[in-house]
Amino acid sequence: KRLAVLVSGGGSNLQALIDAIQSGEISAKIELVISNREQAYGLTRAAQNGIATHYLGIKNYPDSNARAEKLNTLLAAHQIDYVVLAGYLSILKPETIRQYEGRIVNIHPSLIPKYCGEGFYGHHVHEAVLANGESESGATTHFVDEGVDTGKIIYQERVPVLKGDTVETLSARVLTVEHQLIVRTVRDLCSGSVKTSE
């Protein structure tokens, strides 16, 4: 299967996918890594692994509709089967969702439907979990629909919130689980044991 991975930051979820493909756990090839942030380290990780990269952001595509059109063109040109949002902090346009309905997955660092949607991304999630005194948090993979973090859930994994946890310690514990979840999700999507949500 042919994958496109979209990143905005460090790309540790992308790295987990690269490693799982290299180890043979996932039978797929990452054809393309795209970021809306020119400095995203995820682009460096892709380049280090010989994967084609594209920056599509406000500097080279200031108009968001033109940017969406370019994204759709790239995905089609590379005959992408599945799109993986791995720490991607931009909302896909409806035409992209429609073109890939049921074949776009996202990883989110909370137990959806808790702590998700507008504003709940990255460390904001863990800050809110700690502020509310939750005893547990976790990660979720889901299909992407036109809402924010609202598509059909694929897998979810819990992690405990421990006494004395900080945003750093909690986010690190959740990120470890994200890496396991994103690999399991993409593996099972590519093997057909998780059905696309069409």
- Binding residues vs ligand GRF (CB under 6 A): 7, 9-14, 42, 86-87, 107, 109, 122, 175, 178
The answer on whether 11 is annotated among ligand-binding residues is yes
Residue closer to ligand GRF (CB basis): 37 or 103: 37
The answer on whether 12 is annotated among ligand-binding residues is yes
Query: Residue 13: which H helix or E strand, with range?
Result: helix 12-22
Residue closer to ligand GRF (CB basis): 18 or 80: 18
Question: Among the residues of 28-111, which ranges form H helices?
Answer: 41-48, 64-77, 94-99
Exposure string over 19-57, b if 16+ CB within 10 A, otherwise e: ebbeeeebebebbbbbbbbeebbbbebbeeeebebbebb
The answer on whether 158 is annotated among ligand-binding residues is no
**Which residues on adjacent β-strands are paired with residue 104?**
83
Nearest residue to 122 via CA among 165, 84, 82, 86 = 86
Residue closer to ligand GRF (CB basis): 75 or 86: 86
Active-site residue (options: 108, 126, 142, 179): 108
Whether 108 is catalytic: yes
CB of residue 113 to ligand GRF, shortest distance in Å: 17
CB of residue 63 to ligand GRF, shortest distance in Å: 26
- What is the set of active-site residues? 108
Annotated binding site: 11-13, 67, 106
